[in-house]
Amino acid sequence: YPSPMTPMTPITPATPASESSGIVPQLQNIVSTVNLGCKLDLKTIALRARNAEYNPKRFAAVIMRIREPRTTALIFSSGKMVCTGAKSEEQSRLAARKYARVVQKLGFPAKFLDFKIQNMVGSCDVKFPIRLEGLVLTHQQFSSYEPELFPGLIYRMIKPRIVLLIFVSGKVVLTGAKVRAEIYEAFENIYPILKG
């Protein structure tokens, strides 16, 4: 049986003895959508809400902001709404409900249908510098590194389907997840690759 000295390859699934990174990515942004279920008059909303801006020539939606949780929402005349800027799923849901409540108070029969989280962004620091050129050589089917265009390496992981931006300073940004677990899983997948 394997003695404690045998090296564990990163390919084996997580067992208690394998090295986990011990670093947890922090969620930075959550984008979610919800259907308020009724047609809205954007002009009314914009003119009677304190925190709303509406510039129909530029964009066909009302941009509303609330302070707690600090989020921004795009409210469309069809009744659909996009909520961005929250740092957790619960906060995103709470913020979306607050916006719906504001719309309700302004006189529209707003409901709260099909709340769905569309995108989650997380970031973390592995605390050691990363050789991007080496990574693009060994994982060239997933990586795209163009220093002329962007200083980071864009790694498109297939399973789970997440895009990671990897920088030479050791910072990693993960995006494209629909659930929190995908971000964690993606980071656990990439950590042994980065360590080399």
Partner 1 sequence: MTGRVCRGCGGTDIELDAARGDAVCTGCGSVLEDNIIVSEVQFVENSGGGSSAVGQFVSLDGAGKTPTLGGGFHVNLGKESRAQTLQNGRRQIHHLGNQLQLNQHCLDTAFNFFKMAVSKHLTRGRKMAHVIAACLYLVCRTEGTPHMLLDLSDLLQVNVYVLGKTFLLLARELCINAPAIDPCLYIPRFAHLLEFGEKNHEVSMTALRLLQRMKRDWMHTGRRPSGLCGAALLVAARMHDFRRTVKEVISVVKVCESTLRKRLTEFEDTPTSQLTVDEFMKIDLEEECDPPSYTAGQRKLRLKQLEQVLSKKLEEVEGEISTYQDAIENELESSRPKAKGALANLTRDGSVEDTTSSVFGEDDAEDEELEAAASHLNKDFYQEILGSGLSSSSEGAGDPDGDTRPPALESLLGPLPTAASLGISDSIRECISSQSQDPTDACGDGELDLSGIDDLEIDRYILNEAEARVKAELWMRENAEYLREQREKEARIAKEKELGIYKEHKPKKSCKRREPIQASTAGEAIEKMLEQKKISSKINYSVLRDLNSKGGGGLQEEDAQPEGRTATRKLSRRKTPARRHRADPVTGVGKRLRPMVSAQPAKKAAAGEPLPLSPSTLGAEPARPTAVLVESGPVSYHPEDDPDEDDPDEDDGEPCVSALQMMGSGDYGCDGEEDDGY
Q: Which residues bind partner 1 (CB under 8 A)?
A: 13-16, 18, 20-24, 26, 35, 37, 46-51, 54-57, 66, 68, 94, 97-98, 100-102, 104-106, 110-115, 125, 128-129, 131-133, 136-137, 140-141, 144-149, 151-152, 167-171, 184-185, 188
| Nearer CB in complex with partner 1: 45/84 | 45
Measured in degrees and rounded to the nearest 5, phi and psi for residue 122 equal -130, 160
| Cβ 31 to partner 1 shortest distance, Å | 18
| Nearer CB in complex with partner 1: 41/146 | 146
| Nearer CB in complex with partner 1: 84/99 | 99
Give the dihedral of Cα atoms 35, 36, 40, 45; nearest 10 deg: -110
| Cβ 116 to partner 1 shortest distance, Å | 10
Q: How many CB atoms lie within 10 A of CB 186?
A: 25
